[in-house]
Chain A
Amino acid sequence: MKNNFLNNKKQELINKLIDDKCSIIDNLLISILKVDQTEIASFDSYSDISKKLKNLTPELSSDFNEKLYKRIDFENKRMDFQQSLGFSNKLKSIFLGTGSAVALASILFFVFSNQNLDNNISPNFASTNSINQKLVHSASTNMDKNLEVEMIHSNNKVMIIPTENNSIIWIKKNEFE
């Protein structure tokens, strides 16, 4: 249910009311709301709605109106409470997010500042312009803990032959040569 005269908050209020599991009274209220949304668009709160409804439904009994007021007041308070809760949750999220980011940045800084920077130094080798480079890659291919292959580029198929110590890197002959 969308009406051009309703701003988001009002639309939310009405939708909330309609979507709730309502009693017969609520259903009646809903039907009224659905009939005249343009009128409702001028409301600012549940209380306003209820007052307007009272005018719209003069034939309703006092009992009905009492229940309606209670219901509307309850919804009003509930939504205010939810909104305040949402705000505090947002604040909490911001604090948690900021805290986590700072913690993560600290850990990363610690890790990288303690890393052996030598590992990042690449020799001035000619770049490998191989068409069919194969990355055999690291840890999973390591057959023993004494040889850790961080990367392999080759035009050919490369095997790791396991031995007790420093496994052997074995380059297969390219069948197409």
Chain B
Amino acid sequence: MSLNKKIIVSLLILISPISLVMSEELINCKIKLINASKSAVEKIPESLKYLSPKLLATGMNNFTLVEEKNIKIKKKEPIDVNFKSNDQLKFNIIYKKTEKIGMWLEWFSDSKLLLHSKFHFNCNQDLIAGAESGKDTAKIIAFKFSE
């Protein structure tokens, strides 16, 4: 083996564990904040169509995408996500397996705690949590995780 090859192999051996550590699971997280209401006419924007069955299951039928966040997160690193609407999410991915994610979540709205929960869910599907804000209105957050 030539000297160059030896150097390359050595570098590869040295780099591979580092790259493994570096590549350790940056998880893409897409969070959508949606306003929902009950109205005479059903309205679901194109960007939310794929969520229709779940959104309609909430009893609302009029939806508007308020804000969308795309963030990269690491496991076990708590993260705060602030929306312009004074909604704040604090969450922490505690594990991610092939199909499952475990997560702590706190959801504040106008600094009031709406939800503090720990759950495990299918990461191939959106996770939806909603909170009624009025008699016929609500806001919804939809999480989608991918690698």
**Chains A and B come from one and the same complex:** yes
Q: Could you tell me which A residues sit within 8 Å of B by CB distance? A: 116, 118-119, 121-126, 128, 130, 146-156, 158, 161-166, 168-173
The docked-state distance in angstroms from the alpha carbon of A26 to that of B22 is: 91
Chain A interface SS verdict (over half)? loop
How does the 8 Å CB contact mask read for B54-89 relative to A, with 1 for contact and 0 for none? Answer: 100110000000000000000110100000000000
**A156: which of B75, B118, B125, B131 is its contact (CB, 8 Å)?**
B131
**B94: which of A121, A168, A170 is its contact (CB, 8 Å)?**
A121
- List A contacts of B75 (CB < 8 A): 118
Q: Could you tell me which B residues sit within 8 Å of A by CB distance? A: 53-54, 57-58, 75-76, 78, 90-92, 94-95, 102, 104, 106, 112-122, 125-135
Our count of residue pairs bridging A and B at CB distance below 8 angstroms stands at 117
Known contacts A169-B128, A170-B130; A163 and B53 CB within 8 A of each other:
yes
The answer on a CB contact under 8 Å between A125 and B57 is no
Cβ contacts A to B, 28 pairs, < 8 Å: A116-B95, A123-B78, A123-B91, A123-B92, A123-B104, A124-B78, A125-B92, A125-B116, A128-B106, A147-B119, A148-B121, A149-B117, A151-B117, A152-B117, A154-B117, A155-B113, A155-B114, A158-B115, A161-B58, A162-B57, A166-B54, A168-B128, A168-B129, A169-B119, A170-B130, A170-B132, A171-B115, A173-B133
